[in-house]
């Protein structure tokens, strides 16, 4: 694996399930294979050298600012005065060690799959019969998006749920993201990630499980459902791929909304039109030139932060003011994670690997559940969802939350997952 700025404690020998279980109790990893070192599941701990944090603050202090925007709104991008406040806070008052301690408070591991180290958190419920659930983050997110739902999902009785609602959680960082390895060859697309997750769940000893995701995580969950590996019994997505072919064709041609659409379908069409005409420039750059973009993301903390903050503002359900649902520290935790692991470029490269429209209809026969959050990039109508997910066991529209649903509204998100998978227990 590439060199990165954290300390990893490895058990170089293969660790048996009994040993890990004694050390970690109910949060132990389910199992570890002992056939070779390459398939070993190793303990993982983050300890960023202080020198890296000092260097980050130095770079922040040396930021060269652009001229301010010449409009009074966000139409030219991140607004200078507001952004300067965030960056100055980052360089003076922000404390990475708080985030580091929170990450280290949950059991974390690393294992090699298909030549790349996959880092993941694995939290088992104290309740017997918990449903195993693998959850996949998106961009520009990380497993930090999912940290606030660990408690509600693994310990539902402490969060308004029932013991029989409990989940065992597996939260991997995608290849090229966070503390997972950065691929050095092409081919790490959603199909390959989905197959890696199947290996991971098998390696952990799970014979029956479900998958969940938003953003890229939705794409991975959809692909897993299409692959239908033994053991996967259903999925939940909060960015479903439902756009019918005839609608996709009209959108691609830049046509007005076709006649005969229902109100929900017309709203979705208008949202997608806005995305394709005004809101997809970021993706166009990463699809075509992730390496060129990466020089700025790897060299400038402010550049990385602006690239991410723009999406936090666009995609939270806040009308462009993400601080309404995410604290400055929460956003900076995610940005700092990318900075310290130097994964701005490798994360962007996933767009290059998957140059496809991830909103167009999939063909999924496995049981599927969908929650539509009002601040999602587009709100998938039930009529479209039923055409794409042929065994739609759950569909619900809620009144809070956006693209980063688990991050923005963790209690609501957890309650949705309990309801979504109830019929599959």
What distance in Å separates the CA atoms of residue 87 and residue 94, rounded to the nearest whole number?
Answer: 10
Residue 17: pLDDT band (50, 70, 90) is very low
The predicted model gives 289-296 an average pLDDT of 98
What distance in Å separates the CA atoms of residue 120 and residue 111, rounded to the nearest whole number?
Answer: 8
The answer to whether 247 touches 269, Cβ cutoff 8 Å, is yes
The string of pLDDT tens digits covering residues 185-240 is 999 999 999 999 999 999 999 999 999 999 999 999 999 999 999 999 999 999 99
The predicted model gives 359-371 an average pLDDT of 98
Q: Domain residues of the chain, as ranges?
A: 1-243+280-425
End-to-end CA separation in angstroms for the chain: 38
Would you tell me how many other CB atoms lie within 10 Å of the CB of residue 420? Answer: 25
What distance in Å separates the CA atoms of residue 235 and residue 371, rounded to the nearest whole number?
Answer: 11
Q: What is the CATH number of domain 1-243+280-425?
A: 3.40.50.1820
pLDDT greater than 50 at residue 28: no
The string of pLDDT tens digits covering residues 110-169 is 999 999 999 999 999 999 999 999 999 999 999 999 999 999 999 999 998 999 999 999
The answer to whether 104 touches 394, Cβ cutoff 8 Å, is no
The answer to whether 231 touches 207, Cβ cutoff 8 Å, is yes
Q: Which of 30, 368, 366 is nearest to 201 (CA)?
A: 30
**Assigned token pair, 125:** 């419920």
Torsion-angle region of 129 (φ positive above 0: left; ψ -120 to 50: alpha; else: beta) = left
Residue 38: pLDDT band (50, 70, 90) is confident
Q: Which positions are catalytic?
A: 215, 351, 403
User: Is the sign of the CA dihedral 221, 237, 288, 297 positive or negative?
Assistant: negative
The string of pLDDT tens digits covering residues 175-192 is 999 999 999 999 999 999
Partners of 232 in the beta sheet? 209
The predicted model gives 400-412 an average pLDDT of 98
Task: Name the one residue in this structure whose structure tokens are 């004694």.
Answer: 22
The predicted model gives 347-356 an average pLDDT of 96
What distance in Å separates the CA atoms of residue 142 and residue 406, rounded to the nearest whole number?
Answer: 12
Burial letters 193-228, b for 16+ CB under 10 A, else e: bbbbbbebbbbbebeebbbbbbbbbbbbbbbbbeee
What distance in Å separates the CA atoms of residue 375 and residue 320, rounded to the nearest whole number?
Answer: 11
Burial letters 150-184, b for 16+ CB under 10 A, else e: bebbbbbeebebeeebbbbbbbbbbbbbbbbbbbe
Q: Which of 29, 26, 5, 3 is nearest to 15 (CA)?
A: 29
pLDDT greater than 60 at residue 311: yes
Number of residues that this document lists for the chain: 425
Q: How much is the pLDDT for 35?
A: 52
Residues 6+ apart with CB under 8 A from 388: 240, 241, 242, 361, 362, 363, 364
pLDDT greater than 80 at residue 2: no
pLDDT greater than 50 at residue 64: yes
Cα-based angle 358, 362, 366 (whole degrees, multiple of 5): 130
Residue 36: pLDDT band (50, 70, 90) is low
Q: How much is the pLDDT for 227?
A: 98
The string of pLDDT tens digits covering residues 42-57 is 999 999 999 999 999 9
* Strand, helix or coil for residue 218: helix
**Assigned token pair, 179:** 């503390």
């Amino acid at each position: 694996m590439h060199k990165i700025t954290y300390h990893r404690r490895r058990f170089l020998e293969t660790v048996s399930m009994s040993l890990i279980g004694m050390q970690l109790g109910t949060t132990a990893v389910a199992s570890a294979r002992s056939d070779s070192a390459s398939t070993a599941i190793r303990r993982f701990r983050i300890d960023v050298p202080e020198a890296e944090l000092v260097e980050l603050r130095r770079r922040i202090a040396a930021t060269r600012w652009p001229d301010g925007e010449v409009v009074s709104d966000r139409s030219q991008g991140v607004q200078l005065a507001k952004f300067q406040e965030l960056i100055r806070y980052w360089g003076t008052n922000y404390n990475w060690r708080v985030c580091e301690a929170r990450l280290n408070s949950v059991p974390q591991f690393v294992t090699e799959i298909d030549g790349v180290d996959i880092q993941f958190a694995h939290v088992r419920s104290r309740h017997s019969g918990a449903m195993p659930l693998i959850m996949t983050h998106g961009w520009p997110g990380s497993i930090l998006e999912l940290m606030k739902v660990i408690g509600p999902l693994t310990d539902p009785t402490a969060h308004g749920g029932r013991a029989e609602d409990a989940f065992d959680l597996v939260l991997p960082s995608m290849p090229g993201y966070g503390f997972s390895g950065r691929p050095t060859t092409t081919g790490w697309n959603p199909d390959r990630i989905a197959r890696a997750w199947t290996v991971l769940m098998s390696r952990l000893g799970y014979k029956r499980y479900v998958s969940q995701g938003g953003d890229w995580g939705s794409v991975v969950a959809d692909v897993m459902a299409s692959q239908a590996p033994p053991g996967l019994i259903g999925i939940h997505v909060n960015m479903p791929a439902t756009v019918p072919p005839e609608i996709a064709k009209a959108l691609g041609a830049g046509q007005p909304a076709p006649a005969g659409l229902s109100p929900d379908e017309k709203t979705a069409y208008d949202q997608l039109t806005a995305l394709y005409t005004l809101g997809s420039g970021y993706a166009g750059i990463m699809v075509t030139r992730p390496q060129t973009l990466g020089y700025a993301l790897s060299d400038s903390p402010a550049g990385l932060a602006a690239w991410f903050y723009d999406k936090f503002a666009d995609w939270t359900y806040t009308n462009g003011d993400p601080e309404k649902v995410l604290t400055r520290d929460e956003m900076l935790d995610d940005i700092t994670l990318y900075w310290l692991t130097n994964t701005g470029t490798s994360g962007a490269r996933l767009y290059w690997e998957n140059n496809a429209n991830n909103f167009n209809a999939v063909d999924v026969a496995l049981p599927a559940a969908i929650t539509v959050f009002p601040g999602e990039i587009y709100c998938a109508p039930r009529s479209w969802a039923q055409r794409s997910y042929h065994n739609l066991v759950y569909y619900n529209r809620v009144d809070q939350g956006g693209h980063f649903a688990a991050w923005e509204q963790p209690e609501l998100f957890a309650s949705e997952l309990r309801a979504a998978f109830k019929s599959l227990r």
